[in-house]
């Protein structure tokens, strides 16, 4: 079969694959994914969308960003578990705690995300801001790469707070396996399309973090 005939199908799976790992949480309306990581993921993909203004990268990557934002907004909305130690330190900081206590976690995060989106949108109308949007691309890749690292930190910090011999895993390993296969597929897809080296290296780093999460390193 001609490779070009398969391209729409491959792109479809690429765009919607991020949903797969979260299906159990979506179906049951019970989110266990750390809200801090959802917020970082949303901001990273928001920055990636604005980066498209100066670098017209492959459109499936752009469309996937919208899907990811939708999925993690859903996870934030349905999160009602106890925050991790690290998340409590951030979300219940004295400058954020008032909003958190009055409006809740979802609204607090949406205010932050909306502020960033509106600020970037306003900057779109100012001439000479191209360098800023190039920076959006680098910052987006950095934040995406940090998600797995922060997940490791959350796991280790939370486990240190537990009695010796007890180990808690907030997210099931099936999610980390989905991350691994998703990033591996993204790596192959980017190599096939000859994507920019920086994007490819970012995915390679994320694959390494996925393996660390799977094997509890």
- Do 17 and 182 form a contact (C-beta atoms < 8 A)? yes
Residue spans per domain, the chain:
3-214
Per-residue pLDDT band for 163 (boundaries 50, 70, 90) equals low
* 10: Cα within 13 Å, side-chain hemisphere: 14
- Do 171 and 32 form a contact (C-beta atoms < 8 A)? yes
Average pLDDT over residues 4-21: 80
**pLDDT tens, 79-106?**
988 888 888 888 887 777 888 888 888 8
* 5: Cα within 13 Å, side-chain hemisphere: 2
- Do 152 and 209 form a contact (C-beta atoms < 8 A)? yes
- Tell me what percent of the residues of the chain surpass a pLDDT of 90: 10
pLDDT at position 167: 52
- The rounded mean pLDDT for the chain is 81
């Amino acid at each position: 079969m001609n490779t070009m005939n398969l391209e729409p199908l491959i792109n479809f799976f690429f765009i919607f694959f991020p949903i797969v790992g979260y299906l159990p949480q979506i179906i049951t309306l019970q989110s266990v994914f750390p809200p801090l990581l959802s917020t970082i993921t949303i901001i990273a993909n928001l920055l990636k969308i604005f980066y498209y203004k100066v670098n017209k990268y492959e459109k499936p990557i752009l469309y996937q960003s919208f899907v990811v934002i939708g999925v993690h907004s859903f996870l934030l909305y349905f999160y009602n578990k106890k925050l991790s130690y690290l998340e409590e330190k951030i979300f219940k900081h004295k400058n954020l705690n008032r909003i958190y206590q009055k409006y809740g976690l979802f609204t607090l995060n949406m205010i932050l995300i909306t502020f960033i989106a509106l600020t970037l949108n306003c900057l779109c109308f100012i001439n000479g801001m191209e360098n800023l949007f190039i920076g959006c691309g680098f910052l987006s890749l950095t934040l995406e790469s940090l998600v797995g690292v922060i997940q490791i930190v959350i796991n280790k910090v939370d486990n240190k707070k537990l009695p010796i011999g007890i180990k808690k895993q907030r997210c099931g390993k099936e999610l980390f396996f989905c991350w691994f296969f998703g990033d591996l597929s993204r790596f192959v897809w980017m190599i096939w399309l000859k994507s920019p080296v920086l994007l490819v290296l970012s995915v390679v780093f994320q694959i390494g973090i996925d393996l660390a999460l799977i094997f509890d390193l």
